[in-house]
Structures are given as structure tokens and as C-alpha cells.
Amino acid sequence: MGHRDLISHQQLMFLVYTLHFSATELLLPSSLAGTGKSGGWMAPLVSFFLSAVPVALMLGLLVRRHPHLGLGALSHHLLGRLPARLLMLLTTLFNVGLTALCLRDMVEAIPVAILPVTPTLAVALPFLLVAGYGAYCGAEVLARLAFFFMVIAVSLFSLVVVTLLRLVRALHLLPLWDQSPLQLVAAAWPTTGWYAESWTFLPLAAMVDRPQYAGRGLIAGALIAAVHLMSCTALSIGIFGHSLVAHFAFPIHALFQQITIGEFVERLDVILITICLLGMIVKTATHLWLAVDAAQFALGLRNQRPLLLALGLAAVLWMLSIPNLPWLFAFSTTVWTPFSLCLGLGVPALLLAASWIRERQYRPPDISS
């Protein structure tokens, strides 16, 4: 941990895809169907253009203008010492909160398929231990794991499409709204905040070996995640109808339960949860790594190991304060999404403005005239 190994923009794409998609495929289709009705499957693409694209473009421009400078070093260079430390403390809290949300997602999802009636801590602590080791190994190792997750996830979804496409009713996918097309914007609200969380990916983008391609990796990863989520939601709505999908806690889990191959291969939903577990390990470990990286800069520490343990335990305590999944969803839509969206658009814009101001201040005068 703490090594600044370089990664390619393709590895950044794999990692961004995993961070955006690894939990959404389980939780968000029911929300998209409940709010957006039969046209809710289009909401991820709306969110992609509303938040993922502008945030990725701003981060890509920052990396291009200031190559290989992480969020702490860049904010210190552009804003000064005290504002930089305050921003990094905020970044630490933000990523610890995301780590806690990831833990809560897993303690809700794992008992559904493979470990029923398992105590919360019995699921959370081993999961956090593995994720903590991933954070200790660093972002370069996590990017390699993200590649395997992306290949397996895309392959598994291709299997689902091949085996269940005959059950899809095209009329279920017609965008018919009860009120107005604004329902699509309302359905896109949770995923808009989800994509806005990518403002914390600046340290990952700064690790790209060719900084001019960092923005491309960020946009490509978010786009693939949006298309994959949109496809999963469309398949669920096309088979079950939006009314039934809206009442499922985990629609994709119900989707996998419909698969039988040759009347002998069943319970592929267990494989789904296992694959999701890999993605959530990468996501949790990455956010924990980002939290520790920000806290080290904010506190001016050299040794990151105590921070890894302390922030991991803080995430567990934060996770235990979340009562249940409906409360978590209500909190995410009413509090977390606006907060994430403000930071996602505000922090990169602030850094870009500071960068342009400093460039103008230190630009040599034009004496040719």
C-alpha cells in the first residue's frame, strides 16, 4: 500500500466499470422500474450524461494539465495547505461512508442466496478483512482484479440473455409513463448521484501512464457500466413487467432463478452472488484505499497501516448504524445523492477554476507587442 504504480487507461476503465456496476445490478433495477415504470430501463443512460460525463471530462482535464498529481497534492498545489487538508478530510469521510454502504449492501445481499440467517457481523467482518487486504495491496492490484470481474460479469450476462431472451415481451419495454416523461429524470436521480461519486477517482486517474487518456478511461468505464445496468433492467422488465420488478428487493437475483439449462443446471443465482461478491470486494477495497490515501495526506502521516485498521472499523460502525435496506435507499435518494452530486460537480470545477487562475497569474507577459 502507498505505492504509486502506474496503470493503463484500459485498467482504469475496468476499475471504473467495477466501481459503478458491482452493486447497482442488484439494487437499482427495482428503483428504476418503480419510478420510471416501463421506460425506467433508459434511466442509467440519462444519468451517464447528467453526471458521469461532466465529472469525467473535468477529471480528465485536471490530469492532463497536472499529470500524476493525486487529489491531495493537486489541491495543495492549487488551493494551499489548509484548504487541501480540509478537502482531504472530507474525501476521507466520503469514502468511509461509501465503504460502509458497500458493507451494508453485502450483508443484505449475501444471506439471500448462500448464507441465510447469518448474523450481520459474521458477514461484514470477513468481507472487510478481505477488502482491507485488497486496499493494502494497492490500486494497481485492484485494477487487475477489476479486469477479471468485468470479463466474468459480461460473460455471465451474455449467458442470461441467451437463455432468457425467449421470455422477453417487447411490449413491456415501451416507455409508457403514468404522469409525464419527467418520470425518466426522477428514475435517473439515484444513479446520477451514483455516477457523481467518481470525483473521488482523481487519485486513480492520476496513476494512468499516459495522462492524456485518463478521461477516456473514466468515460468508457462509466458508459459500459451504464449500458450493462440498462440491459439488466430492460431484461428484468421485459420478462416480469415493471410492476413486479418494482416489488423485488433484488430483481437480478429473481432473474437468475428463472434459468435452467437442460433441466439440470439450476441455482445459477448462487453464482451471481459469488461474482457480485468479487466486484464488491474490489469496490469496497478501492474506496477504503482512497479513504486511507486521503487521510494520510490530511493528517500528515507516513505510516498508513494504522489508518487502514481505524478507517475499516469506522466503516463497520457506520454500517451497523444503518437499520435496513429501505432506510438505506431512502437515505441515498434524499440525502446522499444531492450531497454526492454537489461534490461531484463542485470539487473538480473548483480545482479547474483554481488551475486556470494560477495559470493566468504566472503566465509570462507578452512582450512581442
Is pLDDT at 186 greater than 90 in this prediction? Answer: no
CA 334 to centroid of chain Cα atoms: 18
**Does residue 166 carry a pLDDT above 90?**
no
Assess whether pLDDT exceeds 90 at residue 285. yes
Instruction: Please list, in sequence order, all residues whose beta carbon lies within 8 angstroms of the beta carbon of residue 293, skipping any fewer than 6 positions away.
Output: 70, 72, 203, 304
DSSP type of residue 166: G
How many helices (DSSP H) and strands (DSSP E) are in the chain? 17, 0
* C-alpha cell belonging to residue 352: 479547474
The whole-number pLDDT of residue 2 equals 41
For 85, list phi and psi in degrees, rounded to 5.
Answer: -70, -40
Single-letter code of the amino acid located at 324: N
The position carrying cell 441455482 is: 267
| Amino acid in position 123 | V
Residue 340 burial (CB count, 10 A): 24
Confidence of residue 115 (pLDDT cuts 50, 70, 90): low
pLDDT of residue 117: 67
Residue 116 identity (one-letter amino acid): P
What does pLDDT average to over the chain? 86
Predicted pLDDT of residue 331: 85
pLDDT in tens, 330-360: 888 888 899 999 999 999 999 999 999 988 8
Give the per-residue pLDDT at 1.
Answer: 42
Would you tell me the crossing angle of helices 182-196 and 214-240 to the nearest 10 degrees? Answer: 140
* Nearest residue to 107 via CA among 115, 25, 26: 115
> Which pLDDT score is estimated for 275?
81
- Considering 40-44, 156-160, 257-261, 270-274, the range whose residues carry the highest mean pLDDT is 40-44
- Tell me the pLDDT tens digit for each residue of 32-42: 888 888 888 99
Could you tell me which of 202, 227, 224 has the C-alpha nearest to residue 215?
202
pLDDT of residue 4: 56
| pLDDT above 90: residue 91 | yes
Q: How far is CA 116 from CA 19, 120, 126, 276, in A?
A: 26, 11, 16, 17
Angle between helices 139-164 and 268-299 (to 10 degrees): 150
On the question of pLDDT at 108 being above 60, the answer is yes
Position 367 pLDDT exceeds 90: no
User: Residue range 298-321: average pLDDT?
Assistant: 89
Q: Are 83 and 292 in contact (CB under 8 A)?
A: no
Q: Which of 132-136, 143-147, 256-260, 286-290 has the lowest mean pLDDT?
A: 256-260
d(C-alpha 36, C-alpha 132), whole Å: 37
Q: In this model, does residue 157 exceed pLDDT 90?
A: no
Say whether pLDDT at 369 is over 50: no
Eight-class DSSP state of 257: T
Those residues with Cβ within 8 angstroms of residue 220's Cβ, 6 or more apart along the chain or in another chain: 13, 16
90 in Cβ contact with 107 (< 8 Å): no
Q: Give the residue carrying C-alpha cell 454537489.
A: 342
For residues 325 and 101, what is the distance between their CA atoms, to the nearest angstrom?
10
Q: What is the model's pLDDT at position 5?
A: 74
| Per-residue confidence (pLDDT) for residue 112, from 0 to 100 | 62
Question: 7 near 208, Cβ under 8 Å?
Answer: yes
Q: For residue 264, what pLDDT band results from cuts at 50, 70 and 90?
A: very low
- Whole-number Cα distances in Å, 152 to 22, 113, 149, 156, 223: 12, 19, 5, 6, 18
pLDDT at 220: 95
Q: Is 222 within 8 Å of 44 (Cβ atoms)?
A: no
Q: What is the pLDDT of residues 49-78, one digit of tens each?
A: 999 999 999 999 999 999 999 999 999 999
Determine the pLDDT at residue 266.
Answer: 54
Q: Is the pTM higher than 0.85?
A: yes
> Is residue 265 scored above 90 in pLDDT?
no
| Residue 162: other Cβ atoms inside 10 A | 11
204 in the Ramachandran plot: left (φ > 0), alpha (ψ -120 to 50) or beta?
Answer: alpha
CA distance 113 to 184: 31
Residue 109 parent element (H or E) = helix 81-113
